[in-house]
Amino acid sequence: MIRDADDRSYRVAVLCLFILAVALMAYPALRIAWIAEIDNTEGWNAYHQARAIAGQSLYKAGSPYFFNNYPPLSFYMVGALSVPLGDVILAGRLASLAAVIALCLGVAGIVRSAGASRLDCLFAATTCALLFAAFATDYVGKNNPQVLGLAFVVAGLAVHLAGPSDARRGALSALLFAVGVMTKHSLIALPLIVAADIALRGSFRSRLAFFATGLGLAAASVAGLWLVVGEAFFTQLLASRTWDLPRSFLFTTEILAQYQAPMAVVGLALLAFRRRRPAGLALAYLGLAWGMGIFYSGGAGTDMNVFFEVAVALSIGAGLVVHMIGLPRAKTAMALAINAGVLFYAPFCLGRFGVDMAGELDSREQAFKADIAYVTSIPGTTLCQSHSLCFRAGKPPFYDPINTLQAMVMGRLPADTLTGMLERREIALVQITDPLPHPDADNPGMQTMPARFVDFQPEVFEVLKRRYVIDRVGISGRFYRPRS
């Protein structure tokens, strides 16, 4: 009788968490048809997706100030999906939302391979959905390839663990890893972990199939890219950028604060069960995901998505530890403790959902459409920090702020590339979202900029002040036109 009550409490806890996950996921799902951008990477991806489907080069956009440092596969996949839909941004958002669902199913499949119950698998998938919907809301249903690539590599791990090691399983997991890396090149943690696992534990045939397939696909990809696009792909993919220790520290502590509850519960439990398979693999994945996230987060232009694999590893670990604990009362407590951070943050997410659905989303939509109409009406070269704005207005890709800034800082372009164009008033319209820099009180004459995201040098704003005038202020920021 007591055991039945305990079982029921765990089922109720998982069901309540699942309902919360559905409610939180409803917001990005309803936002998909929104015209306004979620952030400026959407338009950047849209330009390349449109070029891919048009058969144009992805690494020579017609402007020396617009770069592409991503592998090509996502642009072709989303571009193909956009043909029946008629909108590459909508296609990218749908692909992203579907990828989150596939990611949660992949997490459930990995936990199932350990012999867990369907309820434990549902809990793992629900935890994954909650972590993304609560802490990475703007990446769920956003036109960005990160989650899409992640869904492929997690599927590769699920295939690897789904049954006995054999040649077919090894080849299929290698194929999924190759697709994931060709979608987003930073997703190498799981391929490395599975490669090590197969090398240590796999049969001869599985090793041969996995490594032959993986190396063969890698060689074919490199050769194909070199033949089709030449060195431009490799030059842009491997272009150096600044790395900042304080940036990495601030990013890491922020993400750790969000994940402190699952880290405390899942991390310690996986340490205790590390000798049991696949808990040891999940622990290795969690550690490597943290290490890579910490490293990537120090690079200029990176965002919280570099820590997404931490969320996936924690979700896998969550399902495994409740399965291995076995005691229903303990499972109920662990399920709630693992998601304690989400439960505390959920009211804010639901409040944002309610405000937007009550009319805020519509008002921002109308304001963004007004900005599009304004940009469309201005002839000449246009620089948009909001890439979606220029894309929707029919402007060609001209200037990629973060990558061009890094090219100037690292010496690949002259330091006065942008300021020179502005001094000569060669750009007919400049749209900037970032706030104006303000004077540094401790160093008069110096300007401070936001520490995490810097798209423009401080001197750009000085040149704008002399040579340009603010012609409009909209939801997309300030619009500058040359002084007469």
pLDDT averaged per 10 residues in sequence order, the chain, 484 residues: 64 96 95 90 95 91 89 96 95 97 97 94 97 95 96 97 91 97 96 95 93 95 89 89 91 93 94 90 96 94 93 97 86 94 94 90 94 97 96 95 94 95 97 77 46 81 95 95 92
| Cβ neighbours of residue 160 closer than 8 Å, sequence gap 6 or more | 169, 170, 173, 194, 197, 198
Write phi, then psi, for 479 (nearest 5 degrees): -120, 120
Q: Based on the domain organization, do 261 and 372 belong to the same domain?
A: no
- Asked if 51 and 198 sit in the same domain, the reply is yes
75 with 201, same domain: the answer is yes
Q: What are phi and psi of 430, to 5 degrees?
A: -120, 125
**What's the CA dihedral at 305, 121, 269, 115 to 10 degrees?**
-130
- pLDDT value of residue 119: 95
Letter string b/e over residues 318-355, b meaning 16 or more CB atoms within 10 A of that residue's CB: bbbbbbbbeebeebbbbbbebbebbbebbeebbeebee
Instruction: Based on the fold, state whether residues 408 and 285 are members of the same structural domain.
Output: no
pTM above 0.85, yes or no: yes
Between the alpha carbon of residue 240 and those of residues 36, 68, 287, 300, 305, the distances in Å are 32, 13, 26, 10, 20
Q: What is the pLDDT of residue 54?
A: 93
Residues 220, 223, 227: CA angle, nearest 5 degrees: 135
Do residues 341 and 362 share a domain? no
Looking at residue 450, what is its pLDDT?
47
Burial label, 17 (beta-carbon count in 10 A; 0-12, 13-18, 19+): buried
Task: Give percent helix, percent strand, percent coil of the chain, each to the nearest 5.
Answer: 70, 5, 25
Q: Are residues 361 and 294 in the same domain?
A: no
Question: Are both 178 and 100 inside the same structural domain?
Answer: yes
- Cis amide leading into 278 (omega within 30): yes
In eight-state DSSP terms, residue 395 is P
Q: Look at residue 329 in the predicted model and tell me its pLDDT.
A: 80
CA distance 325 to 317: 12
The predicted pLDDT at position 78 comes to: 97
- Domain final residue, candidates 351, 367, 400: 351
What is the structure's pLDDT at 230?
82
Q: Are residues 150 and 198 in the same domain?
A: yes
- Looking at the fold, whether 178 and 45 belong to one and the same domain comes out as yes
**Cα–Cα distance for residue pair 432/434, rounded to 1 Å:** 6
Domain interval for residue 248: 2-351
Residues 210, 312: one domain? yes
What are the CA-CA distances from residue 280 to residues 114, 284, 318, 369 (Å)? 12, 6, 13, 51
Which one of 351, 382, 413 terminates a domain?
A: 351
Residue that the structure tokens 């040359």 belong to: 482
- Phi, psi of 2, deg, nearest 5: -65, -40
Given 351, 367, 385, the domain boundary residue is 351
Examine the domain organization and report whether 103 and 164 are in the same domain.
Answer: yes
Contact (CB, 8 A) for 335 and 13 = yes
Is 216 in the same domain as 341?
yes
How many structural domains compose the chain?
2
What does the block give as tokens for 421? 């164009």
The pLDDT value given to residue 6: 56
